[in-house]
Amino acid sequence: MTTEIEDSAVDPSRTPDGFFEPPAVGTADRTRELELRYRGIIDRLPAVLYVDDVDQNQPMIDVSPSVHDLLGIPREEFLSRPFAWTDTIHRDDLAAVMAENERCAVTGDPFRMEFRVVHPDGKILWVRDDAVLIHDESGAPLHWLGLMLDVTELIEAQAELHQAKTKYGALVEQIPAIVYVDAADDEMSTTYVSPQIQAILGYTAQEYIDDPQLWERMLHPDDRENAVATYLRGRESGGPFVFEYRLIAQDGRTVWFRDSAIVLTDEQGRPEHIQGVMLDITERKMAEERIAFLAYHDKLTGLPNRTMFHELLGLALARAKRHELGVVVVTVDLDDFKLVNDSLGHEAGDAILMQLAQRLSDATRETDLVARPGGDEFLLLLADLDRASSGHGGHESVSVSAESVALRIQEALRTPFTVGDTELYVTASLGISAFPDDADDAPTLLKNAETAMFRSKRSGPGGYVLHAKDDADSIVRLSLSTRLRRAVEQEQWMLHYQPLIDLHTAEMNGVEALIRWPEPNGGLVPPGDFIPLAEEMGLIEAIGTWVIDEVCRQGRMWREQGLDLDISFNLSPRQLWQNDIVDLIVDPILGSGMDPSRVTVEITESTAMTNPDRTLGILHELHARGLHLAIDDFGTGYSSLARLRYMPVDILKIDRSFVRELDRDEQNASMVSAMIALASNLGMTPLAEGIETEAEWHALTERGCELGQGYFFSRPVPAAEILAIHRRAGLHIVEGGAAG
């Protein structure tokens, strides 16, 4: 910086031991030499050095020739014109420059300013002007000694940098995430963190920067070791890396983050900085945890559901076979519980179910399992029972344990249930089946317990029955098996079709084909009665082949009538594992002239996860052949979300158990919202099953569910009624057919 000279004017004869040596008297040649040397230096400076009169009306005293390069005015002209300097100043800056010049002239302060000048060719330049007043021995100002530099490139670079910072800052500080820049040092210090950190974690950006160990201290204890190791490993690798972890916020909340970072290296390729974005994924994680929990638990009582019960029953039987232990399954079904719901409402019924869940847990051992598969039914698993102390394979000892539990349950039900101000008594019928005497596998054990429970109900409410091998239901089962085999041989089937509704327009855009088995008396055998039996007897493949052929035939008939609909049908687990299943499905569709993209194949969630690797291959092959795919009954099985995201699924069907009373059940509503969001994030279309009320329909629409089906819109109907439904709705019918 230039400093003000207050003592005296520059006089070569008074400059001691400097560039100018004191000339001896009469040494004119020496003085001339010094002047030439001085002028040579001035003329070669990459700046404009000037001496200006303190009187603004006078021209400059001297200026270096470089003024021509800077301002475009020859030196001689610049020195001859009193206002040559001010004439070059940009008009928008002139007033400020003159005001500062006058102030410095009065106060004696150095003149330092950056301003614009206009070159004769119209080009605008930025100059920095630094000048100081030179005084005589009495302190009177003599002239200005100044230096002008071209700082155009510097100013423009600063402006570009400021603009870039402004844009980057606006972007970074408005996204809903924490952006950070770390130095690649031993302390993992942070050089920048966006202000969103305060809203998300409660710490200010400065607090985070000042404490290099804060991130590590905030890490959840279960995540700390792995998160730090991943960070250091990613930093050393030099490549981008992504990891997830939990941080404990200042107020104690646990916040999940997905951290995506890149490593910036120096010229030698060594890590220099780490730039990253920490996205708050807490809501997504909570939704995933809720879905995973409900995959194994009943949403009302929090008890294990049927899926978990089946898995633990399988493990218990495996242990029992290895160690010669006993296992008991108890089915508990409330008597006439529908009367409670009808008279007091579903809320009261739910309250009783929750109280019953607690009483059942209290009546069993800590090692026993109490589960609720749904409705008013509960299942008990008594595992690891000692059967070595009595004869007949230990059956008596196991039965005593089972009956003891049954008696404790009956005792627990003697106390009335309280719902609000109402007290009421509830009874339950129990069915008991034991391994190894009654069954050797889980499905049979469960079926026997259920059969015994129905026998108990027929005997009167509130009792229990142990399974007997000569049960009359075995005769019924044998009769059904014989009739089923004959039905397969004679193809005694029919398809009903349930409309699939666009929930936003209430228009039908497709149908689901559902198999029905007509009885001679005009009734229909419930699918739940014969489909499991057909699976067990190995008849389901033949039934499935008939369904595919019938779907193709009906689709062709509708097209001939001018109606082109999307059609979906269900694929059973055994069908899915057929070696040639893709050709068995696609060939009839192509042969009938149907567009494969108008056909949707549905598999249940549990089927999809039974053998996920094999399932994934089959689904990709079906999808590649043009078919659409749907996951049915979503939420009732245990889906691996990591696998689900890679499945080529188009439609996610939300199970009816979650849709029931959606408008009044906050837990159901929360789960359905999470499932709809999950489907959306995975690029799938959500479809709600079992819509029975207008309120449920509107609740689904408000949450963004696109498709639905249920009795509120239509029960499954014969094929002949589908065209009539379209015509009644006034929908468009494709060319060649009728128009509604």
Q: How confident is the model over 532-574, as pLDDT tens digits?
A: 778 767 788 899 999 999 999 999 999 988 888 999 999 987 7
Rounded to an integer, what distance in angstroms lies between the CA atom of residue 227 and that of residue 674?
A: 27
431 and 445 in contact (C-beta within 8 Å)? Answer: no
* Helical (H) or strand (E) element with 111: strand 111-118
Whole-model pTM: value is 0.42
- Contact between 500 and 509 (Cβ < 8 Å): yes
- Helix/strand number for the chain, H first, E second: 28, 27
Specify the residue for token string 């974690």: 201
- The Cα 189–Cα 208 span in angstroms is 9
Predicted pLDDT at 29? 63
Coil, helix or strand for 461?
coil
Question: Which residues are CB-contacts of 157 (< 8 A; sequence separation ≥ 6)?
Answer: none
- Alpha-carbon gap, residue 512 to 515, rounded angstroms: 10
Closest C-alpha to 293, from 281, 309, 305, 311 = 305
Token pair listed for 544: 């499935």
Q: What is the 3-state secondary structure (H, E, C) of 312-326?
A: HHHHHHHHHHHHCEE
- Which residues, in sequence order, are CB contacts of 205 under 8 Å at separation 6+? 193, 194, 195, 197, 198
> In whole angstroms, what is the distance from residue 230 CA to residue 72 CA?
61
Model pLDDT, residue 211? 94
Two structure tokens written together for 327: 């296992």
Distance of alpha carbon 338 from alpha carbon 426, whole angstroms: 11
Amino acid at 500: L
Amino acid at 94: L
Judge whether 290 and 253 are in contact, CB under 8 Å: no
Q: Which neighbouring-strand residues pair with 334?
A: 428
Rounded Cα distance, 336 and 620, in Å: 47
CA distance 709 to 715: 9
Q: What pLDDT sits at residue 91?
A: 92
Cβ-in-10-Å burial (0-12, 13-18, 19+) of 514 comes to middle
Q: How far is CA 288 from CA 214, 282, 437, 441, 699, in A?
A: 28, 10, 41, 33, 22
Q: How far apart are CA 218 and CA 256, in angstroms?
A: 12
- Coil, helix or strand at residue 283: helix
Q: What is the pLDDT of residue 35?
A: 60
Separation in Å, CA 332 to CA 222, 363, 467, 569: 40, 13, 14, 34
CA distance 726 to 294: 38
* Residues of the chain below pLDDT 70: 1-46, 161-174, 339, 343, 387-397, 458, 469-478, 536, 606, 609-612, 636-643, 729-740
Which residues fall within 8 angstroms of residue 590, CB to CB, at 6 or more apart? 596
- Which has the closest alpha carbon to 654: 604, 693, 581? 604
For residues 642 and 119, what is the distance between their CA atoms, to the nearest angstrom?
A: 67
Show the DSSP H helices in 108-246 as ranges.
152-172, 196-201, 205-210, 214-218, 224-237
Strands of the sheet containing 464-466, edge to edge, are 369-374, 377-386, 325-334, 428-435, 464-466
CB 353 within 8 A of CB 372: yes
Cis peptide before 436 (omega within 30 of 0): yes
pLDDT of residue 161: 67
Q: What is the pLDDT of residues 20-64, one digit of tens each?
A: 344 444 456 655 665 666 566 556 666 888 888 888 778 888 888
Task: Give strand ranges (E) for 406-522.
Answer: 417-419, 422-424, 428-435, 464-466, 494-502, 507-518
